Amino acid sequence: MADGAKPEWWLRNERERERMDLPSYEPSRFEDGTYVHETVSELEANHGCTIRFIGVNVRYPDSWEVRVDGERAFTVERSRDENGNTKYHLDAAAFRSRVEDAVT
């Protein structure tokens, strides 16, 4: 993602991480590298719904629930990379399909 496309909070985060010599931040991604927030925003806009990833009383690496308009739609496995960034273990197309099944 080009710097011009990054929101201000992301740029501040990068500066702070560099200052403290911390690893770089990447937003949550799907297996195919697609950023979760981009896919979720698109689906929410297209279907007029709210999508949330919820971990209730879970321990790492337990699966999280994906809720659509507050209702459990499905679960998704996740892990963290060497820098602590979250990766969900399905690709963006599969996520879209599961959400679309939940809203229809």
Model pLDDT for residues 2-41, shown as the tens digit of each residue: 555 778 888 888 899 899 998 877 889 999 999 999 999 9
Across the range 65-71, mean pLDDT stands at: 97
Q: Which helix (H) or strand (E) is 41 found in, with range?
A: helix 36-47
Give the type of residue at 91: D
pTM of the entire structure? 0.81
- The span from the CA of 29 to the CA of 39, in Å, is 10
Q: What is the pLDDT of residue 6?
A: 77
